[in-house]
Structure 1
């Protein structure tokens, strides 16, 4: 039973789990003192006969805060397969009344999670998928891609909104709300505002917002150079009807002699320097 536990739990075991499997505290301490087991935190051990993987590191970090702790943020995102690389700092959410100091390599969020916000995966408590996405999406540059990928592959937007609204007031809540608003169906306003802020910050002039071209209005137009800039929301908005209408619109603008540059909301957020460089090349050609 001990071997089965270690094999399925990344070689990590707590003192309580060891007792449940029939080991006394003395037997655990003997293994620790002779170097067979390594102490990773209060009452948490790693059996040092195998590689200390990212899974072992995250599991040990979460378990060191007690049975009510849950992996959250980017740690939960990695555990649920939303990201390729595990974060260096493991974020752990614990109840507000939890005692104890923060351990090395971890970041603690003290918040009472609702039952709907916690799930168990491979024996570890983590925040559920919706909450994990909205929290991880605001943790670092590039995090918005987590939300975009999740919307394309695994979750519905309403699920993310529900998770967000259940946890209003948490760290990163305003930024998460802006991401969700940017992902709303047919809502380009946030992307347009981002584009205009970038143009102003780069001191680029000669453009007009909502400029008429070939019977349509482009998000930003440079009349003198005949350059039109269009913005899109998140990548998951790409059903066949929208795709067809966008191509008809873009072809009409191009046939009127205009060059069309198209940027997604993620382009504007993640690669603003690249966006500005492309616009400068187009209007200076």
Structure 2
């Protein structure tokens, strides 16, 4: 072996490790840092061993041109502070099946990258809570990725977000907080509208499911759409004067909810509030909780307790 062989082996090993880690893509700066000379980089490009993807970002021809490689190359091109965003981020999190047609990036406001085909770049500052590292790549956190994707999908957006919320893959509270941190930024108003539609869809789905589980309008004694003192009740058990409301958790200072419960208590009713996501994800637990809250019949031939039929 010549004196240069050990050093060449070290450089080759460093390059290969980087390429393996990054699905076959590498930046010029990474190649130089691994020990490759500028001339050696240019020779690999001239020999078509490496293929330019973006300025100073290359793909090794020994690796396939995959969607992962496309996404990683985009973030590497974005440089320090670049974060994968939008549909590309949702796909990276596994929230979206189809790979992105356009790769979205968020870069700090101080940066002014030139437009590139197949890329969209947004200049903004992200809160630490909205950034994660997934498989070695900086990416917006799943709740924000879901919101951004729902907006990008247009008419498909509310349904997409509703499915994620209903399946528990994105929490309503987390989505709400992510939206709150984007207040005033481009697209925040659209995201808020889509989130509201999706939340209403989840709530409707949970109400319908719970009605079936409780045997509403059947021999169980549960009925739908009852009114007490002018207040509509979603699910009610008139015999035991128990009402169930399917509603997302609200701040402790929710005056309207407090007022509703006070009015119903004065009418002799108790209220059980259940989270729509719990109804969809843990229906047995929700039914058991409601069963425990149903009060015994005030009068009866044998003092039998009213039970919920699930």
Interval of TM-score (by shorter of Structure 1 and Structure 2): 0.5 to 0.7
Query: Is 2:178 the counterpart of 1:160?
Result: no
| In 2, Cα distance between equivalents of 1:158 and 1:18 | 43
Equivalent position SS for 1:99: coil
Which whole-Å CA distance do the structure 2 matches of 1:235 and 1:9 have between them? 43
Map 1:1-285; keep pairs closer than 5 Å. Answer: 1-140=14-153, 141-151=155-165, 152-184=167-199, 187=200, 232-233=201-202, 237=206, 241-244=210-213, 248=217
Cα 1:115–1:16, aligned 2, differ >3 Å: closer, same or farther? farther
Range with greater deviation from structure 2 (3-12 or 146-155)? 146-155
Q: How far has the Cα of 1:32 moved from its partner?
A: 1.2
Distance 1:241 1:234 in 2: 10
Give per-residue Cα distances to partners, 1:206-249, cap 9 Å, x unaligned. Answer: xxxxxxxxxxxxxxxxxxxxxxxxxx546773696444358538
**Unpaired runs of 5+ in structure 1?**
188-231, 254-285
Give the whole-Å Cα distance in 2 for the aligned partners of 1:238 and 1:7.
49
Q: What SS is found at the alignment partner of 2:206?
A: coil
State how far apart, in whole Å, the 2-side matches of 1:53 and 1:98 are: 28
For residues 84-116 of structure 1, the C-alpha deviation after alignment (integer angstroms, 9 at most, x for no partner) is 111211111111121231111111111111222
- Count of equivalent residues: 206
* Structure 2: segments with no counterpart, 5+ residues: 1-13, 225-310
Provide TM-score, normalisation by structure 2: 0.60
Query: For residues 236 and 28 of structure 1, what CA distance do their matches in structure 2 show?
Result: 57
Q: Distance between the aligned counterparts of 2:41 and 2:207, measured in 1?
A: 56
Provide the C-alpha distance between the structure 2 equivalents of 1:234 and 1:90, rounded to a whole number of angstroms.
33
* Separation in 1, partners of 2:20, 2:211: 49
CA contact (8 A) 1:82 1:146 kept: no
SS in structure 2 at match of 1:237: helix
Give the Cα–Cα distance (whole angstroms) in 2 for the partners of residues 136 and 56 of structure 1.
21
Contact in 1 for aligned 2:159/2:198 (Cα 8 Å)? no
Q: Take 2:29 and 2:206, find their aligned partners in 1: how far apart are those partners? A: 48
Structure 1 residues 62, 248: closer, same or farther in 2, change over 3 A? Answer: farther
Alpha-carbon spacing, 1:243–1:137, altered in 2? closer, same or farther (3 Å): farther
**CA deviation map 1:172-218 (0-9, x unaligned):** 2112112222344xx5xxxxxxxxxxxxxxxxxxxxxxxxxxxxxxx
Distance (Å, rounded) in 2 between the aligned partners of 1:238 and 1:154: 20
The two structures have a TM-score, normalised by structure 1, of 0.65
Cα RMSD (Å): 2.6
